[in-house]
Amino acid sequence: MASGSFRRPAMLSPEVAEAIPGEPDPAERNELAHATAAALVHGGRASMPGPRPGTDPEDEAAMVRRLIELVDTEGLDLLAQLWASSPADTLPGALWRLYVLREWTRRDPRTIAERYHLGVHQAEVAGVVAGVGSPPGPDQIQELADAVLHGVFRGELDVALDRAGAFLRVLAAGSAMDADWVELSDDARASELTQRAGTLMETAEDLEQAAALWRAGKLD
């Protein structure tokens, strides 16, 4: 993976794809994305979301339960593939962004640490987002994302999303500072870093918007 870039999940394996009856059309895939996101966030192993209109409740619950079990054995790439095309202002869209951030912190810790070190004293995040206080560090954000994405997070989801947004604001500030320094010797690289900083800030805003929607009971 290129330094500092986000990684999209691998395509579904044949075994995992079999968990989804037939070849779901976009509408079915969207409904499944929402169902699995709700299952995880609301403690999916204990309580499944309601069935889709026109489906048998037992069949629907069994399908989602099987998907959750597959996540335990196959990994989060399964659900990430379902969530990847979801809009930012939906629950699966928010979880997708959290998943991508988690993957980046795991796969490129050196870049993350460098950007965080550069940006932590520059990013205007402390006090901006309620409940954040000070931006979390790389290890904290990975632990938080792991808990949410494995359905074991016991805190408030909006706080988790706000903290992830604050973390991304720090990384965006660090990338922008790096771009200023690199510009003296490499215009192309500086332009790339500036664009990346903008993308990170957009994702931070997406997560913060999702947190606000969750507090309003409108994130689903």
Residue 68 has a CB neighbour count (10 Å cut-off) of: 19
Looking at residue 98, its pLDDT comes to 92
Looking at residue 8, its pLDDT comes to 39
Residue 217 has a CB neighbour count (10 Å cut-off) of: 7
Looking at residue 75, its pLDDT comes to 64
Nearest to 143 by CA among 123, 125, 163: 163
Q: What residues does each domain of the chain span?
A: 102-215
Cα 99 to Cα 112: distance, rounded to the nearest angstrom: 15
- The most distant pair of C-alpha atoms in the chain lies apart, rounded to whole Å, by 63
Cα 145 to Cα 130: distance, rounded to the nearest angstrom: 19
Q: Which residues contact 23 (CB under 8 A, 6 or more apart)?
A: none
Angle at 198 between CA 30 and CA 172, to 5 degrees: 105
Full-model pTM: 0.74
What φ, ψ does residue 44 adopt, rounded to 5°? -50, -30
Each residue's pLDDT expressed in tens, for the chain with a length of 220 residues: 333 444 333 344 444 445 444 455 788 788 888 888 887 787 543 444 444 445 555 655 565 566 556 666 656 777 788 899 999 999 999 999 999 998 888 888 998 988 888 888 775 554 454 445 566 788 888 888 888 887 767 788 998 999 899 899 889 988 888 887 776 677 788 888 889 889 999 999 999 999 999 999 999 8
| Residues across the chain | 220
